[in-house]
């Protein structure tokens, strides 16, 4: 369920925001496509990037625009000495093709900034990520970042995580995956949870993550309840590697939509 984002982040959070933290919306008579909105949000996020930074490079259609922009600024000399830490093999390939210098968390355990998209954003800046399959590496990189900027179009705003009725991914080990799926469903039986193994192609072969794992997509008919309790319960299950709820991690959310671009800082 999409929310009108000028009032989305809640009255209590709004009371704590300084005026400078909100970008004045600039309505446009031109109707922009979803991809154009993603590009606007991505370019706004790159304004936070400074020369000499170690950057977490996100995965997905919105993050791709940010990486393209970073590479462009490197080419024309507006940015220098950038080091990127990719969150997936796809992002790694994109960054290499664009000439962005890369490293990893072993060499850079603390990052200055990470930029990534999200599948859902609630009013407390909690996220669902991982519908593209890179949630584990994304969470590792973004948890190591001093600042984590989330870039979305307005369709990603929800009243509660799982509120779109779309998948909340959980990365699991392949061993006895059906057993793990059933246990995940039982955790949220009161929320009408249904789990499905993610598959690819007409053959229905299991999707395999960059880490060699499977992904179970959870679908909820109602609110899953307290998110931290839900997170802890999922992670306590043997066989679970990580889930796609990113709680209390985002420091900035940039939303682009028909009313303009809004920047909210925690």
| Alpha helix (H) residue ranges in 111-165 | 135-143
Please name the residues in contact with 107: beta carbons below 8 A apart, sequence gap of 6 or more.
Answer: none
Whether residue 208 is predicted with pLDDT greater than 70 in this model: the reply is yes
What is the rounded distance in angstroms from the CA atom of residue 167 to the CA atom of residue 72? 34
CB 111 within 8 A of CB 144: yes
Nearest alpha-carbon partner for 246 in 263, 265, 264, 227: 227
DSSP state of 230: H
- For the chain, domains (ranges, CATH) are 12-157+247-265 (3.40.50.1360), 168-243 (3.30.70.260)
For residues 7 and 176, which has the higher predicted lDDT (pLDDT)? 176
Of 89 and 5, which is predicted with more confidence?
89
pLDDT band, very low/low/confident/very high, at 21 (cuts 50, 70, 90): very low
Window from 32-36, 81-85, 150-154 with minimum mean pLDDT: 32-36
Please, what is the end-to-end C-alpha distance for the chain in angstroms? 23
Q: Which pTM value belongs to this model?
A: 0.89
Instruction: Report the Cα 116 to chain-centroid distance in Å.
Output: 5
Residue 235: which pLDDT band, with cuts at 50, 70 and 90?
very high
Over residues 135-164, the mean pLDDT reads 95
206, pLDDT greater than 50: yes
Report whether 161 contacts 119 (CB < 8 A). no
pLDDT-derived band at 3, boundaries 50, 70, 90: very low
**Active-site choice (138, 154, 171, 242):** 138
Does the pLDDT of residue 8 top 70, yes or no? no
Does residue 30 sit in helix, strand or coil? coil
> Residue 251's pLDDT is what?
97
pLDDT for res 7: 57
pLDDT tier at 164 (50, 70, 90 boundaries)? confident
Give the closest residue to 104 by CA, choosing from 86, 90, 128, 118. 86
Query: How far, in Å, CA of 99 to CA of 5, rounded?
Result: 36
Is 138 an annotated catalytic residue? yes
Cα–Cα distance for residue pair 75/81, rounded to 1 Å: 11
Mean pLDDT of the chain: 90
- Predicted pLDDT at 9: 63
Judge whether residue 242 has pLDDT over 90.
Answer: yes
Tens digits of residue pLDDT in 81-128: 999 999 999 999 999 999 999 999 999 999 999 999 999 999 999 999
Is 216 within 8 Å of 186 (Cβ atoms)? Answer: no
Q: Rounded to an integer, what is the distance from CA 168 to the centroid of its chain?
A: 12
pLDDT > 90: percent of the chain: 80
């Amino acid at each position: 369920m999409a929310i009108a984002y000028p009032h989305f982040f809640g009255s209590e959070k709004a009371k704590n925001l300084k005026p400078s933290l909100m970008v004045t919306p600039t309505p446009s008579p031109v109707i922009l496509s979803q991809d154009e909105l993603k590009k606007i949000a991505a370019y706004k996020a790159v304004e936070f990037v400074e020369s000499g930074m170690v950057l977490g490079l996100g995965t997905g259609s919105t993050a791709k625009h940010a990486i393209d922009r970073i590479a462009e600024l490197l080419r024309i000399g507006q940015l220098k000495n950038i080091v990127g830490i990719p969150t997936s093999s796809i992002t790694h390939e994109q960054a290499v093709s664009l000439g962005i210098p890369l490293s990893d968390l072993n060499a850079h355990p603390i990052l200055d900034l990470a930029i990534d998209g999200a599948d859902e954003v609630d009013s407390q800046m909690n996220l669902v990520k991982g519908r593209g399959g890179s949630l584990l590496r994304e969470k590792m990189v973004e948890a190591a970042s001093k600042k984590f900027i989330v870039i979305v179009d307005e369709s990603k705003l929800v009243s509660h995580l799982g509120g779109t009725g779309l998948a909340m991914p959980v990365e699991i080990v392949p061993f006895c995956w059906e057993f793990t799926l059933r246990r995940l469903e039982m955790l949220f039986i009161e929320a009408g949870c249904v789990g499905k193994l993610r598959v690819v192609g007409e053959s229905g072969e299991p999707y395999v993550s960059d880490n060699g794992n499977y992904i179970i997509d959870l679908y909820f008919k109602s609110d899953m309840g307290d998110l931290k309790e839900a997170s802890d319960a999922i992670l306590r299950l043997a066989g679970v590697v990580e889930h796609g709820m990113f709680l209390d991690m985002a420091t900035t959310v940039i939303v682009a939509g028909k009313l303009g671009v809004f920047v909210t800082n925690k």
